[in-house]
Amino acid sequence: MNIEDLMTEEKILLHADIHTKEEMIEQLSGLLTGGTDSKTKSRLMKEVWKREKDGFTAIGNSVALAHAVSDIISEVSIVCIRSEHEIDWAPQQHVNKNRMVRLVFLFVIPEIMVDDEDREELEVLKQVVLKAGRTEIVQGLLKAVDKEEFRNIISG
């Protein structure tokens, strides 16, 4: 399994007109759930917000790595949205220089897989995390003109 297997074009949204963290988490949750079931989307949003309250998920370079463990999905999932606007990702009490983001990945792991560290999918998520921490890769992702170019950069 590789990044392309988990991050299909349907799981990427570029050129999004998103201004707030709240809008971003709502859009990410909708993208991950396919936007068809508002109850599932709402539940996923609550799980992402629960994790966001536990810690700061922006990593610098205009990137945040939101994540959640959930019993509403059956397989490891990843989606990504790139906003046209910088979004303040930090809680009010943080005065962190890494608080502004444009590129947000959402990783969701099924609850039943939490202790299964040997899963191929979890290795793929680790690869994405490592790449999201590299300035030259992030710069390419922020400039990618389409989803195909985006996927080539993140999986390259």
CATH class assigned to 3-155: alpha beta
CA–CA distance, 142 with 103 (Å, rounded to integer)? 7
Per-domain boundaries in the chain = 3-155
Closest of 94, 107, 101, 99 to residue 51, by C-alpha = 107
Q: What is the pLDDT of residues 113-154, one digit of tens each?
A: 766 666 777 788 888 889 999 999 999 999 999 999 999 999
Q: Mind listing the pLDDT tens digit for each residue in 40-97?
A: 899 999 999 998 888 888 888 999 999 998 888 888 889 999 999 999 998 666 666 6
Indicate the residue type of 42: S
Q: What is the pTM of this model?
A: 0.91
